[in-house]
Structure 1
């Protein structure tokens, strides 16, 4: 059976229709399930987060969790080695609130912070991945830029250090099945306001 993906705008429109209070409540509900992720992490884990600038499930509860448990939190940087470089690198977070981090807007519209100390994805223990939709098998639909698949693909296929890839989204972003491309890298787990699941 051929699976056709729903249009991205279907999900992005739903995200943008949520008011700030609802988003905060759902983010808090999702954060209650982070204790089950904690069980799989080393002490002083390095965790890649993201800016929620497009109506995503708020990322601030993730940063609060990292700060509470002594984890080191990082944010993605696109094109650190030039415009054609599609691999993400990660910059450390030195603020307790995402809103207080000095940023500039990347040419694709996303917020970025720059710092001289950048990590490659393979140096992290977990990457919390933004997504537009995800299916019941861990297949993820991103915004279409391919940055996360490019970043994670090489280490995933080479069987390098096991980097946990965790989705963080609203429950309405979970669908039965998505079409998978050969270059897609599946998630290891998913956290939504309703719970956590492992793939």
Structure 2
């Protein structure tokens, strides 16, 4: 039986990197975005995220979107209110980005610590062509370990189980976050592709 490594193992390694190292790794990873571009329609809608926990910086993804005329979006948690049992609806929706720098996007801090922008122009995940998914670890089969909140699995689960190919689910991370194998739960949604500083791979 596969046992997943502790999340803190990877978050500690991320925090040990300097800002300069993070930016350099992100520049290296961005060189492989041309391979993703080959699978996208013109004026594609791209879901991004804020790199608020030491992740591989996502500003190069926004730069790429702007350069190619893609429409970038950021996730919003809790926009659908509460479920019948009183908990927050975990499905993400996405708001357009109107700034060229993520640091300039107006944000609120979600109760779980995630930065998010609020807007009335909300899209469902199914309306995006690609979602760049945050992750703590990923294995060589595309199985993803998130932060544990279940937001992306909940958001993408229904379309994945029904066989819908859109949106493409792409991981964006450091190479040390790639492991041989992770335990997979029935509700987990695997990635379609992964971009790291050392390359791109498809699952």
Structure 2 counterpart of 1:58: 57
* Counterparts of 2:167 and 2:59, CA distance in 1: 22
Structure 2 counterpart of 1:135: 139
1:34-183 alignment, distance < 5 Å: 34-83=33-82, 84-183=88-187
Q: TM-score by structure 2 length?
A: 0.96
Counterpart contact for 1:103–1:111, Cα < 8 Å: yes
* Counterparts of 1:81 and 1:89, CA distance in 2: 8
Structure 1 counterpart of 2:18: 19
Structure 1 counterpart of 2:85: none
* Counterparts of 1:161 and 1:124, CA distance in 2: 11
Aligned residues: 198
* Counterparts of 1:123 and 1:134, CA distance in 2: 25
* Counterparts of 1:129 and 1:82, CA distance in 2: 23
Q: TM-score by structure 1 length?
A: 0.98
Counterpart contact for 2:128–2:166, Cα < 8 Å: no
Deviation at 1:184, TM superposition (A): 0.3
What stretches of structure 1 of length at least 5 have no aligned partner?
none
1:23-43 deviation digits (Å, cap 9, x = unpaired): 000000000000000000000
> Structure 1: which 4+ aligned runs deviate by more than 3 Å?
none
* Counterparts of 2:188 and 2:151, CA distance in 1: 11
What stretches of structure 2 of length at least 5 have no aligned partner?
83-87
